[in-house]
Structure 1
Amino acid sequence: MVTDVNEIEIRLRRGGGILRRADNADLAGRLDTLLRRGELVAVHPGVYCLPHTAGDTLVRILAAATWAGPDAVLTGWAAARLTFLPDARVPVVTVALPTSRRAPGGIAVERRRIPPELVQPYGPLVLTRPSLTALDLADSRTRASVVDEVLRTRAATLQQLWAALELTPNRRGNAVRRALLVESRAEPWSEAERALHLLLWQCGIAGWISNAWVLGYRVDVLFAAAMLVIEVDGWEIHRSRDAFEHDRRRRNELELAGYRVLNFTWRHIVEQPGWVIECVLRGLADERCSPVTPRASGLRSA
């Protein structure tokens, strides 16, 4: 019988930081000793790790999947963390299983069969594809940003999101999900961009495309005929010096090439929509086509 601590360390590394008791019966006595000493801890029944790694998110995810067994599919925030949202908080690891099972703390079990087209491997794990993961999480309007992020990172396309919705019909929250996908037809990459798109549509302003390439730069909204660019400024993406420098260079290049550039923030779009629309219409005044007159919508002016 192997009792060398080095063997346990080897198996922990091999297992990504966790050990499943059932897979290491030859070490049962040594495992019990290390548990009593506090040199190993039980993350879940029969699933162990080193004490200093017990709070690590990736270890928790792997431990939950190991506890749940080979039929488990990781969903929700855990699946998002491993694919398109690497900084996502995972307070509870959600797993889908074909049958109900009582879960220990830190794990939520969904009794659910997921279409095989919507799952993917991740090393030894199985998880939902980003298209379904984003839809699972976007079950309320406050979570529209998950859809924006999966589109921004190119982890899933809008077409793939629609396909995932059609493959998972009759679910609670699908009406909200469908509405969010309709709103996403211009593929916003942030909450502020989504709000701007909705504002432009609400006011009947057409003739624009989002996330377009101009002079080798990506711009948020482009009115090509009017050579008008709209940039949505978010604090999150401008906190670094490199991002700040890049934006100044891009604006200068666009202006020198004859484009007019308008910059709006989230607060501008949400709190001063009338002023935003006024600026856009003034920017379109020289368009070869007739400028668009906004619909009466009760928008507040600055």
Structure 2
Amino acid sequence: MDDLDELMTLTTVMSLNNGVLRKRDHRTSRATFDRLVRSGAIVRVLPGTFVNAQLMTSRLTRCAAALASYPGSLLWGPDAVAAHTRALDETAFGVHDAVRLVHHQSRYAAPGVHWTRRTVPTEHQIRIDGLRCASASYLAVDAAAKDHGALIERFLRIGLVKPAELPDVLPALANTKGHRERCRVVRASQDNPWSGGERRLQELLRRHRITGWVANAELVVNGRRCFPDVLFEAARLVLEFDGYGVHTKTDVFESDRRRQNALVIGDYRILRYTWKQLTEDPDMVIAEVRTMLARQITSDPGGSEADEAERPSDRT
């Protein structure tokens, strides 16, 4: 193989591996490899691992380089979350940044790498764009020990996990710190909360044994797809949580108004609640919900007994 063929081979391999080359994989092309180094076309970032110089600030490339340097490791923490959400390259990799990896054995500290010691079961290991990574469900359940379900809610909202997948992760984390909190959060996540406010609203409904609802289920009204925070279909009642930080954004504000109008036109009634109302005046919230649900029973001329007979089975 002549120099040009070797150069094309190395360039192709680097392109297929997210801009990464390992020196030990190309011993027969050592001279060509060294010329690439001397020319500045590739740059050493970890022992024996080089990256395309033009991709030095690519977080995806730097993650790929770290994984190539440490076989058996997986992306962890924010880097793993960014890989799942295809957001690794939304922020540049800085001079003082580090890739977060997890491995079942202790590893020596290396510049640009932060380690977590953890055995991630094989069934919770996946590849994303060629990068080894812990699964979305494993990451979300693990994080629940500290974030009280924020990552679970985010992944549920964007469809990366489903509520039924979460309990399957718990046995793998049984002996780790914060497991009691994880179990609590996973139980509270079975009703598909997409935010902390929705979780609080659902907990309030369960505590007062108000049943017959679903959360964030698709509802098509006059051709418009909606995902009500809480829907009592039999009563045609929708409960919405309004978080100030999200709902004051212009695009969200406009979308909410269009959705509410579509629901009203479709003969759905809507109650909206804020975090302050849920936490400081929960009795008012429950009283209003009960009042609206009672109207379902009394509004039918057939009488309350007929309504009760036709109501769907309560959901626990």
Give the percent of matched residue pairs that are identical in Structure 1 and Structure 2: 30
Structure 2 matches for 1:57-136, cutoff 5 A?
Answer: 57-69=59-71, 71-84=72-85, 86=87, 92-136=98-142
Aligned partner of 1:205 in structure 2 is: 210
Aligned partner of 2:150 in structure 1 is: 145
Question: Which amino acid in structure 1 is aligned with residue 58 of structure 2?
Answer: D
Aligned partner of 1:18 in structure 2 is: 20
Question: Which amino acid in structure 2 is aligned with residue 229 of structure 1?
Answer: V
Question: Which amino acid in structure 1 is aligned with residue 143 of structure 2?
Answer: L
Mark the runs of 5 or more structure 1 residues left unpaired by the alignment. Answer: 291-302
What is the CA-CA distance between 1:180 and the residue it aligns to? 0.4
In 1, the alpha carbon distance for the partners of 2:169 and 2:257 equals 39
2:140·2:149 contact (CA, 8 Å) conserved in 1?
A: no
Stretch moving more, 205-214 or 185-194? 205-214
2:258 to 229, 249, 252: 249
In 2, the alpha carbon distance for the partners of 1:60 and 1:238 equals 37
1:165 to 162, 170, 173: 170
Aligned partner of 1:264 in structure 2 is: 273
Structure 2 counterpart SS, 1:261: strand
Q: CA RMSD in A?
A: 3.2
Instruction: Report the number of matched residues.
Output: 284
1:284 aligns with 2:260: no
What is the CA-CA distance between 1:177 and the residue it aligns to? 0.8
Mark the runs of 5 or more structure 2 residues left unpaired by the alignment. Answer: 299-303, 305-316
The CA deviation string for residues 90-143 of structure 1, in whole angstroms up to 9 with x for no partner, is 964333334322131332233433222111233433222211121222221x35
Question: Which amino acid in structure 2 is aligned with residue 67 of structure 1?
Answer: S
What is the CA-CA distance between 1:23 and the residue it aligns to? 2.4
Stretch moving more, 205-214 or 220-229? 205-214
What is the CA-CA distance between 1:161 and the residue it aligns to? 1.2
The CA deviation string for residues 164-185 of structure 1, in whole angstroms up to 9 with x for no partner, is 1123321222111101011112
What is the CA-CA distance between 1:203 and the residue it aligns to? 4.0
Structure 2 counterpart SS, 1:208: coil
In 2, the alpha carbon distance for the partners of 1:29 and 1:257 equals 69
Structure 1 counterpart SS, 2:189: helix
Structure 1 counterpart SS, 2:164: helix
Aligned partner of 1:293 in structure 2 is: none
Question: Which amino acid in structure 2 is aligned with residue 218 of structure 1?
Answer: F
Structure 2 counterpart SS, 1:186: coil
Aligned partner of 1:233 in structure 2 is: 242
Stretch moving more, 186-195 or 275-284? 275-284
What is the CA-CA distance between 1:285 and the residue it aligns to? 4.3
2:17·2:130 contact (CA, 8 Å) conserved in 1?
A: no
Stretch moving more, 126-135 or 223-232? 223-232
In 2, the alpha carbon distance for the partners of 1:30 and 1:253 equals 65
Stretch moving more, 194-203 or 129-138? 194-203
2:136·2:155 contact (CA, 8 Å) conserved in 1?
A: yes
What is the CA-CA distance between 1:220 and the residue it aligns to? 0.9
